Structures are given as structure tokens and as C-alpha cells.
Amino acid sequence: MANTKSAKKQIRKIKSKTSVNRYWKVSIKDSVKKLNEAIEKKDKKGIMDLLGKSKSLIDKSAQRNVIHKNKARRMKSNLQQKVNKI
């Protein structure tokens, strides 16, 4: 348990940052899941829309330090490879 005033403030900050980071990570997962479903259905127009949205979310989360920039690049590369196989 935090004893000092600054330690208590850090706990409050961590709680709010955790919820924000969770929002971004869940948004990415949902977007990627929808993209994978579109790939299975081979819906070309839907795939291109979802690919752009997914890449945008991944870039924004990397910019906000929610995920590491190299992980973002790897995720985008893997998504593009899946789309290119179609």
C-alpha cells in the first residue's frame, strides 16, 4: 500500500492510464478480428476498408506508446500478408 502522497497519486494515474491502454488494445483486437472474418468470407471491399482502419488503430496506439513501435510494424505486416494471399 502506498504511504506517501506522491505514491498515492501514482496509483491514481496508473488506473486511468490502464483503462485508456485497455481501450486501445481492445479496439485493435476487435478490428483485427473483423478483418480476419472478412478475409475468410473473401469480401474484397470490406477487407480494404477494415485493413485501413486496423492499420490506423495500430499506428495510433504505437504513437501513444500503448504498444511498441516494432510490434505495430509486425502486426501491420502480418495483416498485409494475409490480405495479399487472397
pLDDT mean over 77-82: 96
Q: Determine the residue type at 13.
A: K
Which pLDDT tens digit goes with each residue over 34-63?
Answer: 999 999 999 888 999 999 999 999 999 999
> In total, how many domains does the chain have?
1
* Residue 12 within any structural domain of the chain: no
Residue 4 is assigned to a structural domain of this protein: no
Confidence (pTM): 0.83
Assess if residue 72 is contained within a domain: yes
Domain-located, residue 29: yes
- Would 8 be classed as within a structural domain? no
pLDDT of residue 13 exceeding 90, the answer is: yes
Whole domain around residue 43: which residue ranges?
Answer: 23-84
